[in-house]
Amino acid sequence: MHSNSNATMGWIVAIIAVTCAPSSAQERKIPDSADQTSTSVGEPDEGFRWLFDGKTLDGWEGNHDYFRVEQQAIVAGTLQDKIPHNQFLCTEKEFDNFDLRLEVRLKGQGNNAGIQFRSQRIPGSHEVRGYQCDVGVAWNRPVWGGLYDESRRRKMLAEGPRESLPKWIKADGWNEMRILARGENIQLFVNGHKTIEYVEEDSDIARTGIVGLQIHSGPPTEAWYRKIRIQEFPAESASPSR
């Protein structure tokens, strides 16, 4: 009797242990690393300062119906509704010579946004005018790191190599964007790859202005911007950097 009883009890304990043990799927339940952010924005790169504190839109102005903060990122647009007009969240301060770095990702159907710099608000309008570091797809081709002149000359001033861009871009992830503006020289980078180098020959084009984050009009789309930091250069050192 005792041996049979002990055997029975052993089976019961084994069954309970198997039932209560976490499955391998539960043990590996780790969110997508692309959606992870640190608990603090921490310190920026040496020589840089944050333009976005990771928590609020302090220092920025725009239509808050289209811009919010989530997961230490500025989220522009919505996945529920069409975007009726281009919208821009702009810095309250203007910048002239600088190295601007940030990370961008796109979600949704629209697949187009951009980073304004040396730009100005157009009075009485939702638009801005000035340089834009393009993000996403336009005219059925990737335009990441292209230089567009928004609401001014209204054309691409320079584009990255079409054969290389698809290899440089993380279509479903974060992409590191860099804008280096010194005097008449502008260089744009995507994930460490230089896409364009442009020399502005028109002396009437502004060399200073706001930084702006765009969500393009069109189908439901979200543009996520994070780790926005800048290093400013004095005018006397505003020579082209290689």
Query: 6-55 pLDDT, tens per residue?
Result: 444 444 444 444 344 443 333 333 233 334 444 457 888 889 999 999 99
Containing structural domain, residue 131: 45-237
Contacts of 84 (CB under 8 A, 6+ apart): 217
**227 inside domain:** yes
Which position has the token pair 């924005």? 41
Residues in the chain with pLDDT values less than 70: 1-40, 236-242
Which position has the token pair 């082209």? 240
pLDDT value of position 171: 87
CA–CA separation, 78 vs 114, rounded Å?
A: 16
**1 inside domain:** no
**216 inside domain:** yes
pLDDT value of position 43: 87
pLDDT value of position 235: 78
CA–CA separation, 140 vs 118, rounded Å?
A: 27
Q: Indicate whether this model's pTM tops 0.85.
A: no
CATH (domain of 149):
2.60.120.560
pLDDT value of position 44: 87
pLDDT value of position 239: 52
Q: What is the number of structural domains in the chain?
A: 1
Burial of 219 (0-12, 13-18, 19+ CB in 10 A): middle
pLDDT value of position 237: 58
